[in-house]
Structure formats: structure tokens, C-alpha cells
């Protein structure tokens, strides 16, 4: 594992859009949140570019990311939003540059592809957490905001039922690196050079806007690829599903029971991690312990 250095007041952070084009008004609104933490904010050169459903061309988005990594004055990189497009630039990432300049990288959703690739190629711990598009929302809550403090000093995080009700699908306890993120992106990585490695790790999954049959299909793909049995445990985050348009449908819980109930590893659902508020931010690649006995997920620090 490669740890990024923690932030200090007065540090400068960079904002990039490696996937879809951000709403610049909302993105700018989030600057005050970082300034309140004593941070300076710099937008990437091409943050205002729009190329169809992408935030600029692949070359522009890649250039912005590399420039932020290479700039020694930038101590952390935050993504403005998700959408689609991160997978298009990962084959061209300069992993030596990233490894030689380890810094905080923060985002979720489509950024899952970036998290997975960077961690597996460099060992760098990155962060699954709300982006500027979330921070600018009027209902952005204090718990979600407080979890940014883990970036300022090494912090052990504990998720318990004081945050949300958790449901045990398979009892047990397991430890390992926490990996994963958005289920759609995890499934799309299978069969590529950047396929998610879950061997002896805790697998985090979350998604939004998918009907139960779509989630069923993605979990079936993970099952057939051996991912579910390779994992040491499964952490089920938030699934903001849409109402099924089919004449009849299984419930999401029925889908989860089908794929997880017979596993010999701990599986627990109900975590507010994903496209939700509150959004519990977690360091991906950090060591974690999942226990259904006391219904907790405990994560070791993601910074040094």
C-alpha cells in the first residue's frame, strides 16, 4: 500500500472532471466548503470544456489529471462529478508519475475505474467520497462534510448502526483491503487489463438508477467471473434503484439473497456509501474489518 500525505490548512487542492462535464455554477458553489477547511482551490485548465457527454476530449481530461499530479503545489485532487468517461483515459495514465507523486484522489461513481486502476498499478490508497456536485447541494449534510477531516490526520473510521440500520445477509467476520465502488463500473472492468482484483479483500458495491434485473445481471457477471467467492467479505452500499418497468419484478433484497445467501463469507447491507446522503467516505485500498456480530465496518487510516 502507498499512502498519500495528509492535508494541512493552507494547502492547495485541484479540481478535475475526468468523466462528464460539470455544472460550473454548482462546482463553484462548492469552493466555500473547502475554503472553510482552510484549503485553497484551483480548477483544472479544461474544467469548462464540453465534448458531447464528456468534460472535454480524452486528451484534455488526461492532461488535466497528469498536470495536477505533477504539480507539487497541489496536495489533493477532487473530482467535480462522475457521469461517464473515466475508463477511456485509464490506458494512458502515467503510473510512474502517480507513484512518484502520491497524493489524495477523491471521488466515486464513474471514478471507480480510476480508483481501481491506480490502486492496482501503483498501490496508492484513494478515497470514495462525495464530489463537488454533491457538496453544492442544499441538503449536503454535516456527517458527509465531517468525513473530509480524515484527510487532515490519520483517522480510524467506524461505521455502525448509529449511522444507518444494517442488515446481515451472511454472518461472519473478515479483514482485508476495502476495494470496489460502483457496481456498473466493476462489472464493466471484467475481461479488461483493469479487472478488479477482489482476492481476499472486502468488496464494496453500490449503484444508482438500475432496476433489480439490471443489478441481477451485473451480480451474475461477478459470480460467473469468480469475484463473489474470491472476496473475503461483501459490503453493500446504497442502491438508489428506480421503479421497475417490467410487468413483474424481484425485489432488490431478493436479488441480494440469491447471490449472497449461500456464500461462506460475511455479507452486510444498508451502508450509506454511494449515491446518497449522508455519504460515508471511505479510503479504498486501506485495511478494514467487517463484522456482522457487532454490525460494524472499521477502516484503518488512508493517509500518512
Grid coordinates representing 188 are 464493466
34/145 Cα distance (integer angstroms) = 10
* Residue 280 burial (CB count, 10 A): 23
Give 279's contacts (C-beta < 8 A, 6+ positions apart): 108, 129, 130, 134, 144, 147, 272, 273
Grid coordinates representing 14 are 485541484
Note if 269 is an active site residue.
no
Note if 162 is an active site residue.
no
Per annotation, catalytic residue among 60, 128, 206, 210: 206
Per annotation, catalytic residue among 46, 128, 275, 279: 275
Compute the Cα dihedral for 144, 39, 37, 289 and give only its sign: positive
Per annotation, catalytic residue among 46, 109, 184, 210: 109
Note if 206 is an active site residue.
yes
Nearest to residue 261, comparing CAs of 167, 170, 166?
A: 170
Do strands 167-170 and 202-208 pair parallel, antiparallel, or not at all (unpaired)? Answer: unpaired
Angstrom CA distances, 249 to 32, 72, 175, 241, 254, stand at: 44, 52, 35, 12, 10
Provide the total of helices (H) and of strands (E) in the chain, helices listed first. Answer: 12, 14
256/212 Cα distance (integer angstroms) = 10
For the chain, the 3-state helix, strand and coil shares in percent, each to the nearest 5, are: 35, 25, 45
Whether the ω angle into residue 278 lies within 30 degrees of 0, i.e. cis, is yes
Nearest to residue 200, comparing CAs of 182, 214, 179, 224?
A: 179
8 A C-beta contact, residue 227 and residue 203: yes
Residue with cell 454535516: 142
Instruction: Report, as residue numbers or ranges, the catalytic residues.
Output: 109, 206, 275
Amino acid at each position: 500500500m502507498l499512502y498519500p500525505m495528509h492535508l494541512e490548512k493552507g494547502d492547495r487542492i485541484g479540481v478535475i472532471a475526468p468523466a462528464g462535464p460539470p455544472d460550473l455554477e454548482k462546482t463553484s458553489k462548492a469552493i466555500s466548503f473547502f475554503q472553510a477547511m482552510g484549503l485553497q482551490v484551483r480548477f483544472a485548465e479544461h474544467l469548462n470544456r464540453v465534448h458531447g457527454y464528456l468534460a472535454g476530449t480524452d486528451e484534455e481530461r488526461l492532461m488535466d489529471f497528469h498536470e495536477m499530479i505533477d504539480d507539487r503545489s497541489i496536495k489533493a485532487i477532487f473530482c467535480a462529478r462522475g457521469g461517464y468517461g473515466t475508463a477511456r483515459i485509464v490506458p494512458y495514465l502515467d503510473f510512474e508519475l502517480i507513484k512518484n507523486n502520491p497524493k489524495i484522489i477523491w471521488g466515486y461513481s464513474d471514478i471507480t475505474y480510476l480508483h481501481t486502476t491506480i490502486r492496482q498499478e501503483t498501490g496508492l490508497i484513494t478515497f470514495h467520497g462525495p464530489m463537488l456536485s454533491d457538496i453544492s447541494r442544499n441538503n449536503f449534510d454535516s456527517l458527509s462534510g465531517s468525513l473530509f477531516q480524515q484527510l487532515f490526520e490519520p483517522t480510524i473510521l467506524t461505521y455502525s448502526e448509529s449511522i444507518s440500520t444494517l442488515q446481515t445477509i451472511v454472518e461472519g467476520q473478515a479483514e482485508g483491503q476495502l476495494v470496489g465502488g460502483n457496481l456498473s463500473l466493476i462489472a464493466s472492468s471484467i475481461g479488461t487489463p483493469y479487472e478488479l482484483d477482489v482476492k481476499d479483500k472486502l468488496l464494496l458495491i453500490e449503484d444508482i438508477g438500475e432496476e433489480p434485473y439490471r443489478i441481477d445481471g451485473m451480480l451474475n457477471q461477478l459470480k460467473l467471473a469468480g469475484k463473489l467467492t474470491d472476496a473475503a467479505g461483501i459490503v453493500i452500499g446504497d442502491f438508489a434503484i428506480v421503479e421497475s418497468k417490467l410487468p413483474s419484478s424481484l425485489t432488490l433484497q431478493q436479488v441480494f439473497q440469491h447471490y449472497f445467501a449461500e456464500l461462506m463469507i460475511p455479507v452486510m447491507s444498508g451502508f450509506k456509501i454511494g449515491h446518497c446522503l449522508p455519504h460515508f467516505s471511505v479510503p479504498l485500498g486501506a485495511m478494514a474489518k467487517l463484522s456482522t456480530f457487532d454490525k460494524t465496518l472499521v477502516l484503518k487510516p488512508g493517509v500518512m
